[in-house]
Amino acid sequence: MDKNERYRRAKERVEEIKSFYSHLFVYIIVNLALFLINILTAPDSLWFYWPLFGWGIGLLIHGFTVFGTKRFLRDWEERKIEELMGEDKNKEK
């Protein structure tokens, strides 16, 4: 893998991580605002946790794709490509 390819992949990875943290920041701010609106307008009828929970599931999935399975699968793909390229190289000899 040449330097440009490594740079491109690192840049993509940084963009994925930035995207997750932006999502997390917006999630916190919006849900804090919803909590305050709920508590100030109708403290006897709590509803703020519904969007917190629903959006939280989406945030967890986003986090998992950035830091979990997606990363593992990409690393597996790269290892498999290297392995197969090595097999092809051995066949040429």
- Measured CA to CA, the distance from residue 4 to residue 53 in angstroms comes to 41
Q: What mean pLDDT, rounded, does the chain reach?
A: 89
Asked whether the beta carbons of 55 and 34 are under 8 A apart, the reply is: no
Asked whether the beta carbons of 37 and 51 are under 8 A apart, the reply is: no
Predicted model pTM = 0.71
Distances (CA, A) of 5 to 10, 25, 80: 9, 30, 18
**In the chain, domain spans:** 3-92
pLDDT of residue 92: 62
- What confidence tens digit (pLDDT) does each residue in 39-60 have? 999 999 999 999 999 999 999 9
Residue 28 in this model has a pLDDT that exceeds 90: yes
- Measured CA to CA, the distance from residue 10 to residue 64 in angstroms comes to 18
